[in-house]
Amino acid sequence: MQYSVFITGAAQGIGAEIARLFHQKGFRVGIYDINEQQAQTLAQELGENAKAGYLDVSNDQQWQIALQEFQHWAGELNILINNAGILYSGAFEQTSIQSHQRTMDINIKGVLNGCHTAFPYLKNASFARVINLSSASAIYGQADLASYSANKFAVRGLTEALDVEWQKYNIRVLDVMPLFVKTDMIKNMDAASIQNIGVDLTPTDVAKQVFNLALQKNHLLLPTHTPVGMKSKLMYQLSSISPQFLNRLSNLLLSRQNKSF
């Protein structure tokens, strides 16, 4: 059987690499993005098993239209990948409230809308899985990335809750937690942690991890959270065993940039 995958924010960056990999492996791929023209260009590049469409993930009515359209084209929805996201960096108080609210609309409401709207399609599918793009910023709140980090904590919590709730429907809900990835999102990022930690991951690294999680059939062996990259894995493991004051101290040091604390 040919499975299908619906990807948000799929016109570029991590989403586009996920789309390319799944298409290469024989999936029917939905490439949905607020930048429909770029999404259509990628779909044309990939060929007949790719379909593009417009989707503002913060709008639940657009989700309903997009998923109904995709279901009609693909036959069923097997894998939902909530990838769409934005980032504002810099001091919390110097970032406009409108920017903070926009991250909430896309990074949290987008995932909520996607999971809620996709549920009836996933419930009736022969095989179903949800993979959310979380972040290493959901391990401990990151200075100068406050609202983005808060968004990813919300995604982490929603993933954990639904992974338990939807087990009775044989739907696993998982997330991946990469550190900084070489995409346009991090260009000119105003946060000391990116200079102190560095950028080692590529969109391909994240896409490969997402694909591996999508294909594993043994539900019992699948972790709910999967850090991507050695640095993320180390941070994730250390945070679970070290005391809170040490986690806070580590993050103070990572965010230090000629500041006194």
Q: Looking at the domain assignment, is residue 259 inside a domain?
A: no
The tens digit of pLDDT for each residue in 110-156 reads 999 999 999 999 999 999 999 999 988 888 777 888 999 999 999 99
pLDDT at residue 247 greater than cutoff 50:
no
Q: What is the pLDDT of residues 199-228, one digit of tens each?
A: 467 889 999 999 999 988 777 778 899 888
- Integer Cα distance of 208 and 205 in angstroms: 5
Phi, psi of 31 (to 5 degrees): -110, 100
* CATH code, domain with 187: 3.40.50.720
User: 160 in a domain, yes or no?
Assistant: yes
In a domain, 171, yes or no: yes
Position 151 in a domain? yes
Structural domain count of the chain: 1
* Residue 260 resides in a domain: no
Q: Determine whether 95 is exposed, middle or buried from the number of CB atoms within 10 Å of its CB (0-12, 13-18, 19+).
A: middle
Task: Find the domain containing 59 and state its range.
Answer: 4-254
Q: How many residues belong to the chain?
A: 261
pLDDT more than 70, % of the chain: 79
Q: Is residue 133 part of a domain?
A: yes
Q: What is the pLDDT of residue 74?
A: 97
In what helix (H) or strand (E) does residue 17 lie, and over which residues does it extend? Answer: helix 13-24
Query: What are the tokens at 88?
Result: 């504002």
148 an active-site residue? yes
Catalytic-labelled residue, pool 3, 54, 148, 236 = 148
Is residue 261 domain-resident?
no
